[in-house]
Amino acid sequence: MGEYAGLGEVSGKRVLVRSDLNVPLDGTTITDDGRIRASVPTIKALADAGARVVVTAHLGRPKGAPDPAYSLAPVASRLSELLGQEVAFATDTVGDSAKAVVGALEDGQVALLENVRFNAGETSKNDAERGAFADQLAALADAFVSDGFGVVHRKQASVYDVAQRLPHAMGALVKTEVDVLRRLTVDPERPYVVVLGGSKVSDKLGVIDNLLGKADRLLIGGGMVFTFLKAQGHEVGNSLLEEDQVQTCLDYLARAQETGVDIVLPTDVVVADSFGDEASARPVPADAIPADTLGLDIGPDSAAAFAAALADARTVFWNGPMGVFEVPAFAAGTRAVAEALTRIDGLSVVGGGDSAAAVRTLGFDEATFGHISTGGGASLEYLEGKDLPGITVLEG
């Protein structure tokens, strides 16, 4: 006992854990604690091994200075409940409170530092500035465990620079994420189907680019669909549209044809007269969207076609909802895709972000999916073939 994978004996040592606790808040109420729950196994394993666990994390995007709206205090309470032990909370990250709280820890106890992004050095593009802050963080610990997959694509002090200053190891959550993503990129079982949604094509350019040579089928829904429909010459009304990406979408459609990848676009969409007008929601053919409406979900025929296109898949990656799933009138497309993923005979991966939130919001049992990623942006960058700084620093 007393050991942690990759670090050896941790009993009695102060171990700094970078977790991803960036949860949605309504005031001080956590509306989705999925990321906190995902962080518990690593924290618990270290505490059980006798480490003095010091957790650091961010919440939202404060501007490098304290902002009560982004305090991690509610997270400390929830983490205490999930761990079944009191989590001491420091009201700063590297100041007097942090030093006192960490100094008072006994073996097996856990502390959470206040939002790491309250410090300008965390996200600074200046190496020296970031390094100076990392020195302060590193001074609080004897070893470092990187377990915040949602931030490993960021070159930030608590993700990258601290790992250069302390003996380090990959946390169980990050290791699982990387193992799963490798299965999506190295010799995936076929048919390999990728479902992309969300609002913008521009967010997914690198992924589409990379997957056109790897996936067998690409199903496209969400707000990004309307730029593809526009590229095919269709009216899209007041729907979300990225005019500057129309040519790119045309190029993708041409490339898919050349490479034998099947790009599946909706044949019908659910439109409404305005965003807040659920009563006017109705399906229309994708090539006959009335000019005074906007599309807010894929239609029922498309939902059935997407489910059918997923039925024989052995590997699936899904990132981005099919519509505005938070509103019942525009949730059916996302629900149909999620449902189809639960029936996959093979590996089904929900790629973090809004897709993970949708699965929980729509009431699905998370255990019915092969893997639900905690990091949308990190997952996408990995699938783009990019190096993730927070991973390469651990492997170096």
Active site residues: 35, 200, 353, 377
Instruction: Give CA angle at 125 (119, 129), nearest 5°.
Output: 55
Q: What tokens does 269 get?
A: 């969409």
35 known member of a binding site: yes
Q: For residue 204, say whether it is annotated as part of any ligand binding site.
A: yes
22 is in an annotated binding site: yes
326 labelled binding-site residue: yes
173 vs 183, 315, 363, CA distance in Å? 16, 21, 23
Amino acid at the residue 155: K
Query: The tokens of 249 are what?
Result: 């979408």
117 assigned to a ligand binding site: yes
Q: Does 314 carry a binding-site annotation? A: no
Residues 111-121 as b/e (b if ≥16 CB within 10 A, e otherwise) read: bbbbbbbbbeb
295 is in an annotated binding site: yes
Q: How far apart are CA 79 and CA 297, in angstroms?
A: 36
Please check if 60 is assigned to a binding site. Answer: yes
| 353 annotated ligand-binding residue | yes
52 is in an annotated binding site: no
153 is in an annotated binding site: no
Q: Are the C-beta atoms of residues 335 and 342 closer than 8 Å to each other?
A: no
197 annotated to a ligand binding site: no
Alpha helices in the chain (DSSP H): 34-48, 73-83, 96-103, 120-123, 127-138, 172-185, 205-211, 225-231, 246-259, 300-310, 332-342, 353-361, 376-383, 389-395
Tally helices (H) and strands (E) across the chain. 14, 19
282 marked as part of a ligand binding site:
no
Are 280 and 254 a contacting pair, CB within 8 Å?
A: no
Q: Using an 8 Å Cβ cutoff, are 341 and 373 in contact?
A: no
**355 annotated among ligand-binding-site residues:** yes
**264 beta partners:** 219
Q: Is 189 annotated as a binding residue?
A: no
Token pair, residue 178, equals 């990387």
Q: State whether residue 347 is helix, strand or coil.
A: strand
352 is in an annotated binding site: yes
Binding-site residues from annotation for substrate:
20-22, 35, 58-61, 117, 154
Binding-site residues from annotation for ATP:
204, 295, 326, 352-355
Binding-site residues from annotation:
20-22, 35, 58-61, 117, 154, 204, 295, 326, 352-355
